[in-house]
C-alpha cells in the first residue's frame, strides 16, 4: 500500500506550530490545534487583516516589506508626521515624528532606510527627509516643490520622485536622489498627473493611475532615463496604492470616484484584475512589499482608517486545514 512516508521518505511531522516557510504539498499535524494541515497553492491573490495602525490617517505614505513596513505622514485630520513601524503583526509608534508634518508625500526604501519627499504642509513642499530606523534627518530638498506625487526606490540614498501638483499646476517632472542631491531628468511623464502610484527602483520604475484632472488608468515604464507608455490599468482611479517592482507590480484601492477595493496585478506587459479585492474599500492608503506579499494600510473608508491588510499573491503556498468534508 502506498503511504505518505513511502512517497516522501518521511512520516507526517507533529509540530506545535505551523511551519514557515511553506513548501507546496507539505503535510503536518499541529498538536496545539489538533489538526492535520496542508500547504496548497493559491489560484488567486487574497487579502487578510493585519494589525491596526495606532494613528488613523488618510493621504499617507509608506515603505518597506509586508513584515517590516514603515508608515509616515498623512492627514488625520490635520497634517501629521506620525511614524509607525510594522513587524508583520502589529504597529509600534516611533517616539519621534517627521521634521515636516505633511500629507500627499511620497516615500521609498526599507523600514530602516527610507526617504520621504514632497507633499503638502501649508503649500506644496520640496522638503526631503531620511529615516534610519529611529530618527528623521532633513536632507537636500527636491528641485520642484509638489504634492500628490509618486515615488519608488531601494533606500534613503536611491530614490525617484515623479509627477504631482507643483503649487497649483500638474507636473510630470521626474527627479532622482543619490544620497546627497536631487537631479532633474530632462524627460517627464507622458501623462501629467497627481494622486497616483509608483513601484520599482530608481532605474526601473512603473507609474499608474491618478488624476489628469480626469481619472486615468494610464501606466508608464521608466528605464532610468525615459518614460514609455504601456498597457493601462483595467480600472481608472486616483489615490490608489502600489507595491512591487517594474515587472511584477500590485495596484489596489483608490477612488473611481467612489471608494474601491479593486486589486490588479502587473506581469510586465499587462494588468489583470484579481478576483479578490481589499476587505476595506478606501482611498488615500499606502502600500509596501511585493506582488506576492503586499501590504496596504491607512486611507479613508468613510472615516480615517487604521486598517491594515496583507496580500498573498497567486501561486503562493498557503495553509489549509484538512477536514473530512
**CATH placement of domain 46-312:** 2.120.10.80
**What's the mean per-residue pLDDT of the chain?**
94
Closest C-alpha to 147, from 167, 177, 173: 167
**pLDDT at 40 (0 to 100):** 74
pLDDT confidence of residue 323: 77
Q: Which backbone phi and psi does 40 adopt, to 5 degrees?
A: -115, 170
Higher pLDDT, 325 or 127: 127
What integer is the mean pLDDT of 242-247? 98
Inter-residue contact 93 to 82 (CB < 8 Å): yes
Q: Is 1 a residue whose pLDDT tops 80?
A: no
The pLDDT of residue 317 is above 80: no
**Coil, strand or helix at 128:** strand
Question: Positive or negative, the Cα torsion across 142, 146, 147, 148?
Answer: negative
Confidence of residue 280 (pLDDT cuts 50, 70, 90): very high
Q: Which residues contact 56 (CB under 8 A, 6 or more apart)?
A: 76, 298, 303, 304, 305, 306
pLDDT higher than threshold 90 for residue 11: no
Q: Is the pTM of this model over 0.85?
A: yes
DSSP 6: H
Burial category of 270 from C-beta neighbours within 10 Å (exposed 0-12, middle 13-18, buried 19 and up): middle
Q: How many CA atoms does the CB half-sphere of 37 hold within 13 Å?
A: 23
Q: Tell me: the pLDDT tens digits for 91-141? A: 999 999 999 999 999 999 999 999 999 999 999 999 999 999 999 999 999
H/E element, 7 = helix 4-8
Q: Reply yes or no on whether the pLDDT at 285 is more than 70.
A: yes
| pLDDT value, residue 325 | 53
CB atoms within 10 A of CB 272: 14
> CB–CB of 194/148 below 8 Å?
yes
Q: Return the pLDDT at 37.
A: 81
pLDDT of 25:
76
Spatial distance between the Cα atoms of 260 and 237, rounded to a whole number of angstroms: 9
Residue 213 clears pLDDT 80, i.e. is over it: yes
DSSP 167: T
Query: Of 299, 321, 318, nearest to 308 (Cα)?
Result: 299
Whether 37 contacts 323, CB under 8 Å = no
Statement: residue 318 has pLDDT above 80: no
**Comma-separated ranges of CATH 2.120.10.80 domains in the chain:** 46-312
How, if at all, do strands 13-15 and 27-30 pair? parallel
Q: Is the pLDDT of residue 5 over 70?
A: no
Nearest to 168 by CA among 147, 149, 188: 147
Amino acid at each position: 500500500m502506498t503511504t505518505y512516508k513511502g512517497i516522501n521518505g518521511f512520516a507526517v511531522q507533529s509540530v506545535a506550530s505551523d511551519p514557515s516557510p511553506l513548501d507546496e504539498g507539505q503535510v503536518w499535524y499541529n498538536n496545539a490545534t489538533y489538526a492535520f494541515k496542508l500547504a496548497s497553492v493559491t489560484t488567486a491573490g487574497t487579502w487578510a487583516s493585519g494589525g491596526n495602525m495606532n494613528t488613523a490617517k488618510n493621504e499617507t505614505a509608506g515603505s518597506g516589506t509586508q513584515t517590516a513596513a514603515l508608515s509616515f505622514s498623512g492627514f488625520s485630520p490635520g497634517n501629521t508626521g506620525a511614524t509607525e513601524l510594522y513587524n508583520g503583526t502589529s504597529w509600534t509608534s516611533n517616539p519621534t515624528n517627521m521634521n515636516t508634518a505633511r500629507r500627499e508625500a511620497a516615500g521609498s526604501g526599507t523600514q530602516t532606510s527610507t526617504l520621504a519627499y514632497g507633499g503638502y504642509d501649508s503649500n506644496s513642499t520640496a522638503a526631503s527627509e531620511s529615516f534610519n530606523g529611529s530618527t528623521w534627518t532633513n536632507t537636500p530638498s527636491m528641485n520642484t516643490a509638489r504634492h500628490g506625487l509618486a515615488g519608488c526606490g531601494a533606500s534613503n540614498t536611491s530614490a525617484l520622485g515623479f509627477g504631482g501638483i507643483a503649487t497649483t499646476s500638474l507636473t510630470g517632472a521626474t527627479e532622482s536622489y543619490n544620497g546627497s542631491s536631487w537631479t532633474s531628468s530632462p524627460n517627464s511623464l507622458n501623462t501629467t498627473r497627481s494622486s497616483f502610484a509608483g513601484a520599482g527602483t530608481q532605474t526601473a520604475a512603473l507609474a499608474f493611475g491618478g488624476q489628469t484632472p480626469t481619472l486615468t488608468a494610464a501606466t508608464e515604464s521608466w528605464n532610468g532615463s525615459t518614460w514609455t507608455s504601456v498597457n493601462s490599468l483595467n480600472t481608472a482611479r486616483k489615490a490608489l496604492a502600489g507595491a512591487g517592482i517594474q515587472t511584477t507590480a500590485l495596484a489596489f484601492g483608490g477612488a473611481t470616484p467612489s471608494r474601491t477595493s479593486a486589486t490588479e496585478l502587473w506581469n510586465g506587459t499587462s494588468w489583470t484584475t484579481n478576483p479578490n479585492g481589499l476587505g476595506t474599500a478606501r482611498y488615500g492608503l499606502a502600500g509596501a512589499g511585493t506582488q506576492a506579499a503586499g501590504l496596504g494600510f491607512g486611507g479613508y473608508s468613510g472615516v480615517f482608517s487604521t486598517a491594515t491588510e496583507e496580500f498573498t499573491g497567486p501561486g503562493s503556498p498557503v495553509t489549509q486545514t484538512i477536514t473530512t468534508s
